[in-house]
Amino acid sequence: MKILLDERQVRAGVLRMAEAIGAEYGSRPLTVIAVMTGSVVLLADLIRLLAMPLRVGVLQASSYKGSTERGELIINADLMPDVTDHDVLVVDDIFDTGHTLTKVVARLRQLRPTSVRTSVLLRKAGRQEVAYEPDFVAFEIPDEFVVGYGLDYRDAYRNLPYIATLDEDDIASTLP
C-alpha cells in the first residue's frame, strides 16, 4: 500500500473545501445529502466545518458490487429529507467517470430544490465520461484505485485516515 494523501493533507483539503462552500452559501440554510457509503467519513468531517444552518440526509448510490468494474447504478433515496425549495449540496467521495454523480444530481433536480451543487473529496484525472464537473473538489488525483477515508475495496480499508493506493499483494490479501 502506498499513501497518496496523508492524514494532514486530507484534513487540509477538507478544510479548504469547507471554506469554499461557506463562501458560496454564507449563512443561507443548506441541505447536505451524502452519497453513501464512501462519503461517510467526509460527511462527518465536512459538516463540522460548516457554520450555516444545515440539514443532513443520505442516499445510497452504488454501481460497484464487490469489484472495481462499474455495473448498473442503483439509487435509494429513502433516508433523504424533502429537498423541495432547499439549497442542496451533494457530498460524494470520488468523481471518477462521473456517471454516478450526474445521475444523482438529475434525480435530485426532479424533486425541485432551489439549487443543487456538488462536492467531492477526490477527482480522478482523465477518467470523466460525462460533461459534468463537481462544484467543489478537495483533491485532483491520478488515475489509480484508491482506498481510505471512507473509500473501500471489497468493504475493507474505509477506516484508514489517509488515501492510499493498493498494490497486488493488498488486493490479494483482502477478505472476500
Positions annotated as catalytic residues are: 96
H runs (alpha helix) in the chain? 7-25, 40-47, 99-109, 168-173
End-to-end CA distance of the chain: give it in Å, rounded. Answer: 18
Give Cα separations from 49 to 21, 46, 55, 116, 140 (angstroms): 10, 5, 14, 20, 21
Indicate the SS3 state at residue 45: helix
Give Cα separations from 72 to 77, 92, 161 (angstroms): 16, 18, 30
Contact 136, 20 (CB under 8 A): yes
Q: Which residues, listed in sequence order, are joined to residue 34 by a DSSP beta bridge? A: 58, 91
Q: Which residues, listed in sequence order, are joined to residue 165 by a DSSP beta bridge? A: 2, 146
CA torsion through residues 77, 79, 82, 83, sign: negative
